[in-house]
Chain A
Amino acid sequence: MAILLLGHLLWMILGRGASTRWQNLANLLAAPPRAVSGRLEGWRSARREKVGNLRQAEAELVNLRAQVTGLLTAREAQAPRLAEADEAVRLLGLKKLLPLDFRAARVVVNVRKAPFGGMILDQGEDAGLQPDQGVIAPEGVVGRLWNVGATQSSLLPLDAYNASTGVMLARSRATGVLQGLGPGKAAIRYIGAQEVVQVGEPVFTSGLDRVFPRGLLVGYVSAVLPHDVELLVEVVLAAPLDRIGLVLILPPHPQVEIQPPAGPPRAANGKAAGP
């Protein structure tokens, strides 16, 4: 009982007045928990911030993925048009190089690998086309018009078994007839055995068939085989007939020789124009 009373009295005496003993003691005792609590709160705050940043990053990632998917989809949707545009640019370059009245056409069907198959162009008599007009691409000669309908025409490619084209070799200038051997291949006939033909030699049109003018690239020699009194010269065609989309149609019966367009004008006194 006395301890209870004296304890209370001592408590009151120690805590009376403006003394901050209890406050200091309480602060001292509370310092470790306060430090731990501060660290815990700091850790929680950092974690909350990290979680917030992570969620924000995830949201941005989802958004970016959606954007990338959209862009990929758009790119895939635009890819055919871009490829066609590239091809059109190359055709335009070819058209500028050759001083002929070309007509561009699009290949709408390509069944070249089927037996007696060919290609279908989207222009016909309505565009003034007629059979046996030559068809070329920027990479090389494609073939000739086989049948012309009202709005479409069929194309006989160079590698068709029934296709024949007048060609010449680049070095010997020996002329022959190119006949189709199947997809991507053809052979030159009527080349004399005395001719010297090298593998890899370019093959151009000779212009003698009056379908193509002289000098258009047809392909490259891939093999040379003696065949009786002549050489059988196998040729790999230069034009990618499998993936061709746009072609240029030559005018009917073009000139045998075509002159390249004139070069840049020269300045007077023999000085070149420009810097």
Chain B
Amino acid sequence: MSNPAGTPPVRRFLLALLCLGGIHYTAPWSGPQAVLNAFLVLGLAPGFTSPLAGMAWAAAGGWVLEGTLRLYPHLGGTAFGNMLACLLAFSLVLRWPPHALRPYWGRQAVLVLIHALLIHGSVRFAAGPHAWGTGWLWSLILVPAWATLALRLHPPLHRK
């Protein structure tokens, strides 16, 4: 993951696009939607060469998620939280590239919690109090699945 150039950019782009589509089409099921959002923000977006590109994908995921939900404020809180979480994940990957799967799971689990707090806080800041939901729990439980996929898609340099 510290060497994003090692992954074909077209495949990464298509995968992020697929995630956006998944976020859009899983709107009736908030759990899988939150998992896809977490995978895009914490798994795929930090793998882009430029942090700006990653943040743009994260913001796009947040806007798509807000756009698909009817009873949810559409003021950019989710996109803002996504961008902050993506920036944090990007800096962690740069500073401490993942060496093994299980520590990576733990880091992603912590990032899921931080991501959920950031989203909740920014949405609360933008639109006021709102329900927590169970999306963060789905993302946390399914960390081994999506984090493993993300690590295999973006392997660290020393593992090559």
Which A residues are closer than 8 A to B by beta carbons? 1, 4-5, 8-9, 11-13, 15-17
Contacts and interface: CB of A to CB of B under 8 A. Distances in A.
Contacts of B51: 1
Contacts of A8: 59, 76, 79-80, 83
Given A4-B83, A5-B80, A5-B83, A12 B55 contact: no
A15 B80 CA distance: 13
Contacts of A9: 80
Contact of A12 (B52, B56, B77, B87): B77
B126 interface: yes
Interface residues on B, range: 10 to 19
A1 B59 CA distance: 11
Contacts of B83: 4-5, 8
Interface string B57-90: 0010000000000000001110110011001000
Most buried by B among A1, A8, A16: A8
A245 to B, nearest CB: 88
8 closest pairs, A vs B, by CB?
Answer: A12-B126, A15-B75, A8-B80, A1-B52, A11-B76, A16-B126, A8-B76, A12-B76
A107 B33 CA distance: 102
A47 B126 CA distance: 46
**Dominant SS at the A interface?**
helix
Nearest to B84: A5
Helix, strand, loop or mixed for chain B's interface?
Answer: helix
Interface string B31-64: 0000000000000000000011001100100000
Nearest to A2: B52
Contacts, number: 40
B100 to A, nearest CB: 30
B103 interface: no
B127 interface: yes
B4 to A, nearest CB: 16
Contacts of A15: 75-76, 126-127
Contacts of B108: none
Nearest to A22: B75
B128 A17 contact: yes
Nearest to A12: B126
B76 A4 contact: no
A11 B59 CA distance: 13
Contacts of B79: 8
Interface string B118-142: 0000100111100000000000000
Nearest to A1: B52
A4 B127 CA distance: 19
29 contacts: A1-B51, A1-B52, A1-B87, A4-B52, A4-B55, A4-B56, A4-B59, A5-B55, A5-B80, A5-B83, A5-B84, A5-B87, A8-B59, A8-B79, A8-B83, A9-B80, A11-B75, A11-B76, A12-B75, A12-B76, A12-B77, A12-B80, A12-B122, A15-B75, A15-B76, A16-B75, A16-B125, A16-B126, A16-B128
A11 B76 CA distance: 7
Contacts of B128: 16-17
Given A1-B55, A4-B55, A16-B125, 12 more contacts: A1-B87, A4-B52, A4-B59, A5-B83, A8-B59, A8-B79, A8-B80, A9-B80, A11-B75, A12-B75, A12-B122, A12-B125
A246 B119 CA distance: 109
A12 B119 CA distance: 12
Nearest to B80: A8
Contacts of A13: 126
B115 to A, nearest CB: 16
A148 B126 CA distance: 119
Contacts of A12: 75-77, 80, 122, 125-126
